[in-house]
A and B are shown apart, each in its own frame.
Chain A
Amino acid sequence: DAMVIQNPRYQVTQFGKPVTLSCSQTLNHNVMYWYQQKSSQAPKLLFHYYDKDFNNEADTPDNFQSRRPNTSFCFLDIRSPGLGDAAMYLCATSRVRQSGNEQFFGPGTRLTVL
């Protein structure tokens, strides 16, 4: 089945230790998104790629970066995680002008910062 895969599902890191979260998709969608969801809060868009074009949200901290080496993969890099970065990180994909531009979500990666 075509799908959005996130690895790992659970990630534990230490304060200040760089961490990378991975997202891959078999849907051949041209847009990929990263959302952050803190406990009891709404998911919040961090950034997205439209093909190779990177779009950063204005209030996304500089600590967060992303890479998209090819259509299938997108990575979220947190350079120096703080305790406030502990959250669920959700990856989503969509294809422009297909399926009503619906976004399809992966299962998420829960990040714990010690």
Chain B
Amino acid sequence: KQEVTQIPAALSVPEGENLVLNCSFTDSAIYNLQWFRQDPGKGLTSLLLIQSSQREQTSGRLNASLDKSSGRSTLYIAASQPGDSATYLCAVYILTGGGNKLTFGTGTQLKVEL
């Protein structure tokens, strides 16, 4: 059974700092990996999707990398801002006969302080 772990569970940093969030998964036979942002009490906002043939994706100040062989992904946030405060979830895709399934990690709760 696929298990997804995110470390750290919570992180507090001063504004302007660069930071790395980690995601690991137990079964390397994944299809895609996706990073989401979730604000308190809200739904999921997609940040980056890394497809099976890719090793990284970039969007603005965000960069996500994927190493399937080691079962790891990282989300790099450059020059953090208070507006980046949220919970960040990673999720791995597994192909099934009926489409695909997502298994989520429990998230890293990020707080960026002024």
Contacts and interface: CB of A to CB of B under 8 A. Distances in A.
Interface of A: 6, 30-31, 33, 35, 40-45, 48, 50, 53, 55, 88, 90, 92, 94, 96, 100-108, 110
Interface of B: 4, 31-32, 34, 36, 41-44, 46, 49, 51-52, 89, 91, 93, 95-96, 98-107
Determine the main DSSP class of B at the interface with A. Answer: strand
A41 B106 contact: yes
A100 B36 CA distance: 16
A101 B93 CA distance: 9
B44 A100 contact: no
A102 B32 contact: yes
Given A94-B99, A96-B99, A105 B44 contact: yes
A11 to B, nearest CB: 14
- The listed residue with most B CB atoms (<10 A of its CB), out of A53, A96, A104, A105, is A105
